[in-house]
Chain A
Amino acid sequence: MPDEKTVDLWVAGTEEPQFSPTDEGAQEFGPDESEARLADQFGRVIDDDYLFDDEVAEDERSVINMGPQHPSTHGVLRLQLELEGEVIRRSKPIVGYLHTGMEKTAEQLTFAQGPTNVTRMDYLAPFHGELAYSLAVERLLDVVVPPRAAAIRILMTELNRVSSHLVALATNGMDIGAVSMMIYGFRERESILAFFEKSTGLRMNHNYIRPGGVAADLHPGWRDDVAAILDDLPGRLRLYDDLLKDNPIWMARTQGVGIIQPEEAVAFSVTGPALRAAGVDWDIRKAFPYSGIEQYEFDVPVGENGDVYDRYRVRVEEIHESLKIVEQVTEAMPKGDYRIDDAKITPPPRARIDESMEALIHHFKLFTEGFKVPAGETYVAVESPRGELGCYLVSDGGASAYRMHTRAPSFYNLQALPIAMADSLVADTVATIASMDPVMGDVDR
């Protein structure tokens, strides 16, 4: 007979290993199922007593590198994490891998060509970049676009907010393991991109909102297309709420993770959903309205805890609010011209070029020299899906910008990443990054 104490011994001739069961390694929840004890077991709360030891010497910390080619860093973001066991003590985002010198490029392009450049910065929200730039140019020119152009701009930017937030939900889901969310988010986004394509000709990088208005009128039958989106999306969003909102795995991975306090968010110039999730009621659309967005009724969703879950909730609520705005814009879409009637700024209609010498000259001058903008400087901010997207524009009276600087929301939001990740587990890194929703094209420009 084998000894009672013998474990893990395979005795020749027998079919089964000869060992007596022990409790060693058993995953048994204790009888104490209080909230605090469960939170501890699920790893939501880190008890500093056993994870953080003051005696740990500097050289017992290890530094690991994450990225830039990491699938869940949302582009070419690189992080250096200083770990103590499994806990991140310090972290440092390293950016610049996608730097393409767009601010320098803007100094070479004329004001008329400018939108082609800025639309490629935040490639998930191209309309917002174009809008900030166009508003800045228009303010220097001291022109006001017709009401229809302003309404089209709001329609496009709010739909763009929906599509951008859908990508944020999709990638956030995939990073935490809810892979089906990835497929759903991108599927719904595609219906909005198809709408953009019908009006602007492109799915992304539209170059549609230009100084002086928009490039083209909305396509025939656009009301039906918007109505289809408005019919479809709320039901889909309910399904996603069923999938994620009360999902215990989702909540365990997101609640209490990557917390940013409101004071920290304000100090680190965090804007957008990340700021509102922390409980700060701040939205550029309410504080400094642009393009007549003050005519439409919508609420600003605000979170409480500033964790990954709240950021996810704020984004979902913002989609609903944006759809509300889209519905109101569709109903109240004014008739009229979609760009200002100034041949010096906007090109003449194509048909007039064939019959009018003047139109031909204007067309030629506009696309070779562009238009001159009076000297001056201004800063215009719009609320992009990631936060305050500002354009600081300086003109010296020429046809191209003397200096164009974009206040990129992702760039500033990234600064709060080390704060959000400090003293959290390595496994929560991807959840935190995804919830900040950085777009590296926006960060590096």
Chain B
Amino acid sequence: MNTLLNDLATKFDAVTWEESHGQDVARVPPDEWYLFAAAAKDGGFEVCVDVTAVDWMRQRPERYEVVANLLSMEHRTRLRMITTVGRDDPTVASLTPLWPGANYAEREVYDMFGISFEGHPDLTRILMPDDWEGHPLRKDFGVGSVPVQFKTSHQVS
């Protein structure tokens, strides 16, 4: 862990750190999500590469994980910050005020998982149609199928 992350680690006691296949992962409590991100941005992570989510359904006490990939170009360091979001009222603070680049990504997570981002300027569906019901990447959303009508074959005489 380099100095960039050490500074962050000393500031936030509630954050647990782990290493996943050589990558630094910070598990952040949901109420510190924005504060931690702001501190990370001040600490040198100038790019928010990606925001996404994972639906753990019943495998974990908190159903969703929101994952943000940060990047420091100057220090050539990546940091993945993960927080948990509960089943009822899935809401977490938006990172768009910090990094405008998180805008579309959070809209996609909202569209696909139904997780709301507080403080997002324009939280609407982005990939699915506006009148779509449900959030497709949730595990309880079926893959579905299109009914095909087969005509009964008959011998042509």
- Listed in ascending order, the chain A residues whose CB lies under 8 Å from chain B are 95-96, 99, 101, 103-104, 108, 139-140, 142, 266-270, 280, 282, 287-288, 376-379, 381, 388, 390, 392, 394, 396, 402-403, 405, 407, 411-412, 414-415, 444-445
Measured CB to CB, the nearest residue on chain B to A93 is: B104
Task: List B contacts of A402 (CB < 8 A).
Answer: 54
**Looking at the complex, which one of A101, A142, A267, A390 makes contact with B100 (CB distance below 8 Å)?**
A267
Contacts A96-B126, A96-B127 given; indicate if A379 touches B80 (C-beta within 8 A). yes
21 residue pairs A–B, Cβ–Cβ below 8 Å:
A96-B125, A96-B128, A99-B127, A99-B128, A103-B137, A139-B21, A267-B99, A268-B100, A280-B73, A282-B73, A377-B20, A379-B23, A379-B80, A388-B49, A392-B67, A402-B54, A412-B101, A412-B105, A415-B101, A444-B127, A445-B127
* Majority DSSP secondary structure for residues of A touching B: mixed
**Nearest 6 A-B pairs (CB), nearest first?**
A269-B101, A96-B127, A99-B127, A407-B50, A405-B52, A268-B101
Contacts A96-B126, A266-B46 given; indicate if A392 touches B69 (C-beta within 8 A). yes
Task: List B contacts of A103 (CB < 8 A).
Answer: 112, 137
Docked-complex contact A140 and B21, CB < 8 angstroms = yes
Docked-complex contact A95 and B126, CB < 8 angstroms = yes
Looking at the assembled complex, report how far the CB atom of A417 sits from the nearest CB atom of chain B, in whole angstroms: 11
**Looking at the complex, which one of B23, B104, B112, B143 makes contact with A411 (CB distance below 8 Å)?**
B104
Docked-complex contact B21 and A392, CB < 8 angstroms = no
Contacts A390-B49, A403-B55 given; indicate if A415 touches B69 (C-beta within 8 A). no
Report the separation of the CA atoms of residues A141 and B128 in the bound assembly, to the nearest whole angstrom. Answer: 33
Task: List A contacts of B112 (CB < 8 A).
Answer: 103
Report the separation of the CA atoms of residues A231 and B4 in the bound assembly, to the nearest whole angstrom. Answer: 47
Docked-complex contact A95 and B59, CB < 8 angstroms = no
Contacts A104-B137, A287-B76, A402-B54 given; indicate if A266 touches B49 (C-beta within 8 A). no
B129 at the interface (CB under 8 A from A): yes
Task: List B contacts of A445 (CB < 8 A).
Answer: 127
B136 at the interface (CB under 8 A from A): yes
Task: List A contacts of B127 (CB < 8 A).
Answer: 95-96, 99, 444-445
B28 at the interface (CB under 8 A from A): no
Which of chain B's residues 83-104 have a Cβ closer than 8 Å to chain A?
A: 99-104
**Looking at the complex, which one of A139, A287, A390 makes contact with B50 (CB distance below 8 Å)?**
A390
B40 at the interface (CB under 8 A from A): no
Report the separation of the CA atoms of residues A269 and B46 in the bound assembly, to the nearest whole angstrom. Answer: 9
B9 at the interface (CB under 8 A from A): no
Looking at the assembled complex, report how far the CB atom of A370 sits from the nearest CB atom of chain B, in whole angstroms: 17
Report the separation of the CA atoms of residues A248 and B104 in the bound assembly, to the nearest whole angstrom. Answer: 37
Docked-complex contact B100 and A415, CB < 8 angstroms = yes
Q: A287-B73, A411-B104, A415-B104 are in contact. List 12 more A-B contacts (CB 8 A).
A: A104-B136, A268-B100, A269-B49, A269-B102, A394-B54, A402-B54, A403-B55, A407-B50, A412-B104, A412-B105, A415-B100, A444-B127
Q: Could you say which of B80, B127, B141 has the most chain A C-beta atoms within 10 Å of its C-beta?
A: B127
Report the separation of the CA atoms of residues A282 and B75 in the bound assembly, to the nearest whole angstrom. Answer: 12
Chain B, interface residues (CB within 8 Å), range: 35 or more
Task: List B contacts of A378 (CB < 8 A).
Answer: 20-21, 23
Docked-complex contact A108 and B143, CB < 8 angstroms = yes
Task: List B contacts of A376 (CB < 8 A).
Answer: 20-21
Report the separation of the CA atoms of residues A103 and B141 in the bound assembly, to the nearest whole angstrom. Answer: 13
**Looking at the complex, which one of A267, A288, A444 makes contact with B101 (CB distance below 8 Å)?**
A267
Looking at the assembled complex, report how far the CB atom of A57 sits from the nearest CB atom of chain B, in whole angstroms: 24
B47 at the interface (CB under 8 A from A): yes
Report the separation of the CA atoms of residues A439 and B49 in the bound assembly, to the nearest whole angstrom. Answer: 19
Report the separation of the CA atoms of residues A269 and B47 in the bound assembly, to the nearest whole angstrom. Answer: 6
B15 at the interface (CB under 8 A from A): no
Report the separation of the CA atoms of residues A376 and B128 in the bound assembly, to the nearest whole angstrom. Answer: 29
Task: List B contacts of A140 (CB < 8 A).
Answer: 21
B48 at the interface (CB under 8 A from A): yes
Task: List B contacts of A280 (CB < 8 A).
Answer: 73
Task: List A contacts of B78 (CB < 8 A).
Answer: 288, 379
Task: List B contacts of A266 (CB < 8 A).
Answer: 46-47, 73
Report the separation of the CA atoms of residues A96 and B127 in the bound assembly, to the nearest whole angstrom. Answer: 4
Looking at the assembled complex, report how far the CB atom of B108 sits from the nearest CB atom of chain A, in whole angstroms: 8
Docked-complex contact A392 and B50, CB < 8 angstroms = yes
Task: List A contacts of B59 (CB < 8 A).
Answer: 396
Docked-complex contact B69 and A390, CB < 8 angstroms = yes
Looking at the assembled complex, report how far the CB atom of A208 sits from the nearest CB atom of chain B, in whole angstroms: 25
Q: Could you say which of A140, A377, A396, A445 has the most chain B C-beta atoms within 10 Å of its C-beta?
A: A377
Looking at the assembled complex, report how far the CB atom of A268 sits from the nearest CB atom of chain B, in whole angstroms: 5
Looking at the assembled complex, report how far the CB atom of A321 sits from the nearest CB atom of chain B, in whole angstroms: 20
Task: List A contacts of B52 (CB < 8 A).
Answer: 392, 405, 407
Task: List A contacts of B69 (CB < 8 A).
Answer: 379, 390, 392, 407
Task: List A contacts of B67 (CB < 8 A).
Answer: 392
Task: List A contacts of B23 (CB < 8 A).
Answer: 378-379
Task: List B contacts of A396 (CB < 8 A).
Answer: 59
Looking at the assembled complex, report how far the CB atom of A339 sits from the nearest CB atom of chain B, in whole angstroms: 21
Docked-complex contact A269 and B99, CB < 8 angstroms = yes
Q: Could you say which of A96, A288, A402 has the most chain B C-beta atoms within 10 Å of its C-beta?
A: A96
